[in-house]
Structure 1
Amino acid sequence: MAEVIVVVGVVGGAGASTLAALLARRRALTAGRRRGEPAGRGRGGPGGARLGGTRDDGVVLVDLDPGSGGIEVLLGIEERPGARWAALREVRGTLTEDDLAGVLPRWEGVEVLSGDRRRGAPWGDPASAGREGGSTAVAGDGLVAVWSALCAGSGTVVVDLPGHRLPAAAPLLAPGLAAADRAQVVLLTGQDVLGVAAGLALRPGLEALGGASRAGAVDDGARPVRASDPALPGTLVLRRRPGARVAPLEAAEVLGVRLAGLLPTDRSLPRATDRGLGPVVPGRGRLAAAVARLERRLASA
């Protein structure tokens, strides 16, 4: 079963999509080292869709941000072949992870399931998604089928999910989260009072996400896990703010999650993104070190 890491952008502009991409890339590098592969390649080469085979300990980055224009644009892979959410909107029934092998485009050894610049967000109004001339956002059934297949497989699934989508996300993501080997949430917010307040406002959504994923699951074969059980394990990452007066440990205590650390700003990121390289950062820079620490912490949780 897969490990699922849901990166939730509590406030806009904190860099949740970038963090999700860097975290997925770091996990792919870690898996590649275990297999003895060159850095940055992963199975299937540096870019494009795979030619076939199966998914084993690979990494998939899933874009669930309907307002981003597609995480593929951030990564610079919008011209690469492979399926986007819009192409999967008619999927029905049960899929396996092998059904998706060779289907998705790749970036830095990571398979990417993204929204499409021209054809809308990865999810939307299911009522209009199936009508001729209606929304091209993926309908609920298609999202659940693909999502459940990824979570029931192996490897790691990293999700970019905006905080305002949490209430709607719970029933759609619950089947996949229940099937996953384990699931964790990374909350990214600003190191300021507004960032902490926004995190508190998301608490009901996090509890709904965790409770929905646990409903009907079995804990150690002894009893059903109730929907009223605690939210998914949460880890807090604060976007560093110059002159911030909010103490990181106090913010974590208020939000009821463990603190992973601060996310620094890397001024090279905008240039790399504008050149179509995606959020590639120097391996020994502060941002790369922060992402590496977060990845290790999540792996050992």
Structure 2
Amino acid sequence: MDQRTSVVGLTGASGGLGTSTLAAAVAGLGQMLGHPALLVDLVPNGAGLDQLTGCAHEPGRRWPVHEEDIASLTSHHLPVWGGVTVLSQRGPTRPPPALGPAAVGAVSRLAADHALAVLDLPRADHPHAAAWFGLCDTVVLVAGTAPPQIAAALVAQALAPCASRLVLRPAEEAGLDPDDVAALLGLPLVHLLGHDRSVARSVLEQEWPGLVPGPVRDVAAAVLSVALRGTDRAGEAA
């Protein structure tokens, strides 16, 4: 892979934490700051990141089902929205796309065409999770602070101990202290992800989430700074 490409993956320890929204926001903010970005949807049978980012109407290929079609993917096959190249799931399909070695190779090639690649990673129990996590320079675990969410994060860490950074979504009730959670998981805390009312409006208006000031943008900027490895480019995102 091109050494100039920064690859950051985000994985949710459990559902409903806003991981996909945050992944889209990191890609959109990176593109806005002048870093040609690729956003890859690796959540089988999800709604599709093209729905979340407002480009479901855009022509271009989504994840192919067959490996021979996956192997032939190039960047010019894919939709571009807001300047970001998007490889989205199609929504629920049977069977879902095989996110195995052929898909890992395809995404590696696609990433080399961009300065920034943001992967919305599969769950840690996915059969090919290790390969996907290994493709990333930085893996950010998104977790909650309620006890069941912390238990899920501990399981995710045990299954795929590749995360190097942590984003926490504080529980509205009965949540543990974020610093204590970070210490328990043994990961540096990047930022807290609070509720952001602008996300729903962005989806309705077919805009990228996180492009207006608010909690999602703040966290996306922090993640982007980590993804760009503390270079001058990272300073622009802060």
TM-score bracket relative to the smaller structure: 0.7 to 0.9
Identity across matched positions, percent: 32
1:192 and 2:124 aligned: no
1:7 and 2:10 aligned: yes
Letter in 2 for 1:258: P
C-alpha distance in 1, partners of 2:70/2:141?
31
Letter in 2 for 1:194: P
1:142 shift after superposition: 3.5
C-alpha distance in 1, partners of 2:140/2:175?
22
Whether the aligned pair in 2 keeps the contact of 1:83 and 1:113 (CA below 8 Å) is yes
In structure 2, the CA distance between the partners of 1:111 and 1:205, relative to structure 1 (3 Å rule), is same
In the superposition, the TM-score normalised over structure 1's length comes to 0.67
C-alpha distance in 2, partners of 1:293/1:139?
28
Whether the aligned pair in 1 keeps the contact of 2:39 and 2:118 (CA below 8 Å) is yes
The partner residue of 1:287 within 194, 216, 220 is: 216
Stretches of structure 1 lacking an aligned partner (at least 5 in a row): 33-56, 121-133, 208-230
Q: Which protein, 1 or 2, shows the higher relative CO under an 8 Å CA cutoff with sep ≥ 6? A: 2
Stretches of structure 2 lacking an aligned partner (at least 5 in a row): 231-238
The partner residue of 2:198 within 258, 268, 276 is: 268
1:237 shift after superposition: 0.4
Match in the other structure for 2:235: none
1:8 shift after superposition: 0.2
Whether the aligned pair in 2 keeps the contact of 1:88 and 1:142 (CA below 8 Å) is no
Match runs of 1:132-281 below 5 Å: 135=95, 137-138=97-98, 140-171=100-131, 173=132, 177=135, 183-207=137-161, 231=162, 234-281=164-211
The partner residue of 1:23 within 21, 26, 46 is: 26
Whether the aligned pair in 1 keeps the contact of 2:47 and 2:90 (CA below 8 Å) is yes
| Structure 1 residues 196-224: Cα deviation after superposition (integer angstroms, max 9, x where no partner) | 211110123323xxxxxxxxxxxxxxxxx
In structure 2, the CA distance between the partners of 1:62 and 1:81, relative to structure 1 (3 Å rule), is same
Structural RMSD (CA): 2.6
C-alpha distance in 1, partners of 2:226/2:95?
40
Structure whose alpha-carbon radius of gyration is higher? 1
Match in the other structure for 2:78: 104
Letter in 2 for 1:85: W
In the superposition, the TM-score normalised over structure 2's length comes to 0.82
Letter in 1 for 2:117: V
**Corresponding pairs, count:** 227
In structure 2, the CA distance between the partners of 1:109 and 1:206, relative to structure 1 (3 Å rule), is same
C-alpha distance in 2, partners of 1:155/1:89?
26
| Structure 1 residues 65-85: Cα deviation after superposition (integer angstroms, max 9, x where no partner) | 013121111112112011111
